C-alpha cells in the first residue's frame, strides 16, 4: 500500500503574532510547515518551538526569496497552502509620511504578497492548493489616518479576487480582513493618532487566535474574502459607498475610540 505523500505549507511573517498562530494550526493539522520572517532568528526560534520543519530569513520584497522558500517547502512535501501574512502597519496621514515609509508599506504589504501568490501558483502540484492573504478591514473602505496602509490592503483584496478568478479550479485564493488585532504592530501605533483612534472605535480588539482561526478556516473553502468580525466588514463596505457621508462621522468615531482607550488605560 502506498504511503500518503507529506504535504508542506509556507507561512510568511510567522515569527510571532498572527503568522505564528497560523503556523501552529497548520502544524497541528499534520502539515510540514516552513516558517519565514524578515527576522530570521525569530523564524528559526518559532519553528523549533512549534514543531515546524524550517525557519527561514525572508524579506518578502525579494521575489527570489519566495522561490527559495517554496523550494525548501517542496523538499519536505507537496506544497498545498501558502499564507502571505507578512506585513507592516505604519499609521499616519499621507502628507506626514516619509517617502521611505510609503514605499515600505506598498512594497511589503502589496508587492510582497503578489510575489508570494505568483510563487505559490507556480509551485503547487496537480492537486492545487490554497493561498491565504492577510489583508485588513482597512482595505474595504476609507480609513483616514491609515491612508497608505489601507491602500496597500485594498490592493491586496483586489488582487486576491482577481488571482482567484484567473487561476485553475484547483487553486483557491482567499483574503482574511480583520479589524484591529492585539499584536506588536498595533502596540506600535501612534497613541493619539487618528488611525489608532478609529481602530479602537469598533468594539473589542481581536485576539491573534481569532484571526488565525479565521485564516486557517478559509483553507479548502470557496470563500474569497472574509471579514473578522463579519458585521464590521459590512459597516466599512457601506462607508465606502458614501465616503462623503462617512467623512462627517470621522470625528464621532475618533471620540469613541479615545473613550475606549481611556477606559482601557483606567483613566
pLDDT digits (tens, 9 = 90+) for 54-72: 999 999 999 999 999 999 9
pLDDT digits (tens, 9 = 90+) for 169-183: 899 999 999 987 777
In this prediction, residue 260 carries a pLDDT of 45
**Mean pLDDT, range 209-225, rounded to an integer:** 97
Beta bridge partners of residue 129, listed in sequence order: 171
**Mean pLDDT, range 104-116, rounded to an integer:** 98
Mean pLDDT lowest among 3-12, 78-87, 137-146, 232-241: 232-241
**Is there a catalytic annotation at residue 149?**
yes
pLDDT score of 185 more than 60: yes
In this prediction, residue 52 carries a pLDDT of 98
CATH architecture of 7-195+203-244: 3-Layer(aba) Sandwich (3.40)
Catalytic residue among 149, 150, 156, 236: 149
pLDDT score of 197 more than 90: no
What angle, rounded to 10 degrees, do the helices at 112-123 and 147-166 form? 20
- C-alpha–C-alpha distance, residues 45 and 163, integer Å: 33
Is the model more confident about 9 or about 168?
9
In this prediction, residue 193 carries a pLDDT of 60
What's the mean pLDDT when you consider all of the chain?
86
Amino acid at each position: 500500500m502506498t504511503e500518503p505523500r507529506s504535504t508542506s505549507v509556507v507561512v510568511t511573517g510567522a515569527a510571532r503574532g498572527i503568522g505564528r498562530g497560523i503556523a501552529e494550526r497548520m502544524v497541528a493539522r499534520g502539515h510540514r510547515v516552513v516558517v519565514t520572517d524578515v527576522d530570521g532568528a525569530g523564524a528559526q526560534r518559532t519553528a523549533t518551538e512549534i514543531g515546524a520543519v524550517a525557519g527561514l530569513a525572508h524579506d518578502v520584497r525579494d521575489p527570489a526569496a519566495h522561490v527559495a522558500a517554496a523550494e525548501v517547502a517542496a523538499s519536505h512535501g507537496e506544497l498545498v497552502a501558502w499564507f502571505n501574512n507578512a506585513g507592516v502597519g505604519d499609521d499616519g496621514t499621507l502628507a506626514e509620511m516619509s517617502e521611505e515609509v510609503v514605499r515600505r508599506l506598498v512594497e511589503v504589504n502589496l508587492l510582497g504578497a503578489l510575489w508570494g501568490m505568483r510563487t505559490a501558483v507556480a509551485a503547487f502540484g496537480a492537486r492545487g492548493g490554497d493561498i491565504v492573504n492577510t489583508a485588513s478591514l482597512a482595505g474595504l473602505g476609507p480609513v483616514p489616518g491609515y491612508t497608505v496602509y489601507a491602500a496597500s490592503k485594498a490592493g491586496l483584496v483586489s488582487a486576491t479576487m482577481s488571482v482567484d478568478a484567473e487561476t485553475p479550479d484547483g487553486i483557491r485564493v482567499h483574503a482574511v480582513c480583520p479589524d484591529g488585532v492585539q499584536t506588536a504592530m498595533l502596540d506600535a501605533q501612534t497613541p493619539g493618532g487618528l488611525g489608532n483612534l478609529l481602530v479602537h472605535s469598533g468594539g473589542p480588539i481581536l485576539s491573534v487566535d481569532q484571526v488565525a482561526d479565521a485564516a486557517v478556516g478559509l483553507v479548502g473553502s470557496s470563500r474569497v474574502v472574509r471579514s473578522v468580525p463579519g458585521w464590521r466588514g459590512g459597516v466599512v463596505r457601506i462607508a465606502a459607498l458614501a465616503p462623503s457621508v462617512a467623512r462627517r462621522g470621522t470625528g464621532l468615531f475618533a471620540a469613541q475610540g479615545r473613550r475606549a482607550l481611556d477606559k482601557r488605560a483606567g483613566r
